[in-house]
A and B are shown apart, each in its own frame.
Chain A
Amino acid sequence: MEPLELIQDYLERHTDNPPPSLTEETRLDTLGIDSLAMYELLFELEDSYGVRFTDDTARPETIGELIRFIESTQPAAKNGTV
């Protein structure tokens, strides 16, 4: 599953009124979930893609920034170095 699909799936499972469509420009603070649910979403992304969001990770503000961070770590993740 692509990251955008995973985020859409998460929102459909966790919110009563998920956004009808997501784009890379969609801001994370408009997804209708609180900070705890956002952590849960990030943990699902970590488990799915083998990435790790740490305190040093630049805080993504849009879905596009989130996807680019995941993609930037994928080769390293495959090498087991992340």
Chain B
Amino acid sequence: MSFSGQHRVVVTGVGLIDPFGDDTPFFSHLMRGDSATRLSRFSLQPPHEPFTQPTVQCRGFIPETMLGKAISSMTDRYSQLGIAAAFSAWQDAGFERGQSMPDNAGVSWGTGGGGVLTVDKGYSDFYERGKPRPSPLSVVFTMNNAAAAHIAIALGLGGACLTHSVACASSAISIGEAFRRIRSGEAPIMVAGGSEAPLSPAMMRAWEAMRVIAPAANEDEAGCACRPFHSARSGFVLGEGGAALVLEEREHAVRRGARIYCELAGYGQSCDHTHIVRPDANGQARAIRNALHDASLHPEEIGYVNAHGTATQEGDPVEISALKTVFGEHARRLPVSASKSMHGHLLGAAGAIEALVTVLALSRQEIPPTAHLDDIAPACTGVLHVTGEGIGDQRFDAAMSSSFAFGGSNAVLVFRRHHAF
């Protein structure tokens, strides 16, 4: 417990569905500036033409292999990705499935769309193919709390089972709210993260229609389509995936001899309250300040920011402006990168995968780059962009992950190296 009477919260497990899906570790790919984006082709019934879009798909993820048929046949892909990520984090934390857990250990999950692939199929079956009714499992496939519920069932977590659906801040908020549960003493352990499986052709076309998806004419262009902070940035690429952290009350973790990656020290939120999609630097700055205040850290103590960095024309300069507002003179020395350039935009799971990247960066003292950033936009200067390959052998004590969602909902997490005092 800290001097403030609140419990300290540490990260003891990380889990991810690796979008690269090969023998090279995920973080090593990021440090090299590799992109997991590929040009995906989608065939549709007439009158629709086949179409292509750069995406990040977890092609190596076979649910039946990782989860078994009983779970995978009862779940949408977004749940499958989430359950598998949670299992991975659980194992990484040194726990076994079925191990007895305190009654108040829980789950806090995030997703933007939930089971959109099941919705897509159900509507198609019902309206187009004339089936008298969708599958009786449609409801339990699509509900936004399905992933969290399956994780709780499989891991025996009988405390709070929460789902947060706050667009692209969903899983940053799920981690932040889990953090508060542990800090207040309501729970000793929380599995927190998010998952998303948004690659339904109709939804992809809807994102395209918003003019926020980076175009790509071929495979080469697809690989570097998402270029945050670049003068020629043209938007993001949609990605599917899941990522999870095991958050634990520090004394609980120390007593059982757990490996501690780092401490989750602060969480800040805000709402722009200005526009449904146009971001606002003042609102983002409030969330950053709130997170720093919550962590009892000065801006100068932050040594890395994993930016939201969606590579949209409007969003990136606003985010840099918010950083400069809060960090002042320190901004020019503040390493910033957007890992979305490599793993794609996981929407409701973005906050979770980017928190995981931040945790790994801090614990390894290595900072991954923003890939493909060879020409920084004038409107995005004023911070220390990490470009090319990542930078190793850094010395920094704290790092931040930012998530700024449609709806103006902002969430910022601050991690710091674990110290015994």
Contact = CB atoms under 8 A, between A and B. Distances in A.
Interface of A: 12-16, 36-37, 39-40, 43, 47
Contacts of B131: 47
B73 A39 contact: no
Given A43-B135, A47-B131, A15 B70 contact: yes
A47 B135 CA distance: 11
B136 A13 contact: no
5 contacts: A14-B73, A15-B73, A16-B69, A40-B136, A43-B136
Which of the four size classes fits the interface of chain B?
A: 10 to 19
Central interface residue in A39, A43, A47, by most chain B CB within 10 Å = A43
B66 interface: no
A50 to B, nearest CB: 11
Given A43-B135, A43-B136, A36 B74 contact: yes
Interface of A is mostly: helix
A39 B136 CA distance: 7
A36 B143 CA distance: 15
Contact of A36 (B68, B69, B133, B137): B137
The 6 closest A-B pairs by CB, nearest first: A39-B136, A14-B73, A16-B68, A16-B70, A16-B69, A40-B137
A15 B136 CA distance: 17
B380 interface: no
Given A13-B69, A37-B74, 15 more contacts: A12-B69, A13-B73, A14-B70, A16-B68, A16-B69, A16-B70, A36-B74, A36-B136, A36-B137, A37-B73, A39-B136, A39-B137, A40-B136, A43-B136, A47-B131
Nearest to A18: B69
A15 B69 contact: yes
A35 to B, nearest CB: 10
Contacts of A15: 69-70, 73
B204 interface: no
